[in-house]
Amino acid sequence: MRRPGLVAVDIDGTVLRHGSGHQASPAVVDALRAVRDAGVPVVVATARAECEARKVVAGLGLTDGLHVYSHGGLVHDLGAGRDVHRSHFDAGAAVRAFLDVDPAASFVVEHDEGGWSTCENYVRGFPTTWRERLPLDALTASRTILLGVKVTCDGTSYGPTDHCPHGATAVQAAGLDATVYRTDVGIKGWIAVLAAGTSKASGLGRVAEEYGVDPADVVAFGDSSNDLPMFAWAGHAVAMGQALDDVKAAADEVAPAVTEDGVATVLRRWFPR
């Protein structure tokens, strides 16, 4: 591939080592700075909500530009501090379908003002921006860009990019209308529910159009199954060395692992210091 016109990077497992807090390695930060110094946009494309990603984005040295959050449900203009696109949907039917499968399931929805509203039985097991607890009818009364579903899980430990089999089974049994919803199965019983057609690829498509960059001139880095739509869309897809085999198989190139600063290694080919 010739020098890219846009660089898209996932966060967890790509520019950020799992469990490393908010700060990427100096080598990765420097490599992304070299891209920007060359006049090429760097775009974060992450499953994280904006409220959970902002410290990482700041640690990457990014203070402006368009970025993609919430599995592609949100495109945010960092410099202007405003959202330029939200893929809203009605979560009610999805909640009812998962409760039919697992009456003990719990739910969170992304709030338009940032953070998460939760159902009354949801266990807040990690630090983030929590808002109110609501009865299910109130929780799903407003449209959202992301519904998080937590189904019963036996606690088996899976790798950071693995699919939870309990989540996969729940999705299949729920039988959501694919013309309305898209799902992404995570780990430990987690399932993300999005509007149909929403993915990192759809978000990046909006960003590339805004920048006047053809998808063929985009290099995209990722390590997980939620990066597969982005890989299919981008001109050059780069899987991290620790990614699962199906993610590697979908990529044009496999970089060294995140623990070896694989993003920096690849970018230095086009943007040397």
CA 254/CA 248 separation, integer angstroms: 6
In order of 21, 131, 246, the CA distances from 127 in angstroms are 12, 12, 31
Q: With 60 as the cut, is the pLDDT of residue 160 above it?
A: no
Q: Give residue limits of the domains in the chain.
A: 6-86+198-270, 92-195
Q: Judge: domain 6-86+198-270, CATH 1.10.10.10.
A: no
The whole-number pLDDT of residue 161 equals 52
- pLDDT tens, position by position, 83-142: 999 999 999 999 999 999 999 999 999 999 899 999 999 999 888 999 999 999 999 999
92-195: CATH topology is 3.30.1240
Average pLDDT score, the chain: 94
pTM of the predicted protein model: 0.94
Over residues 14-29, the mean pLDDT reads: 86
In order of 49, 59, 177, the CA distances from 119 in angstroms are 18, 32, 23
Q: With 70 as the cut, is the pLDDT of residue 159 above it?
A: no
Contacts 24+ apart (CB under 8 A), 112-119: 112/86, 112/142, 112/144, 112/145, 114/49, 114/50, 114/51, 115/49, 115/51, 116/49, 116/148
Longest pairwise C-alpha distance within the chain: 56
Over residues 168-180, the mean pLDDT reads: 96
The whole-number pLDDT of residue 158 equals 44
The whole-number pLDDT of residue 102 equals 97
Over residues 67-71, the mean pLDDT reads: 97
The whole-number pLDDT of residue 162 equals 65
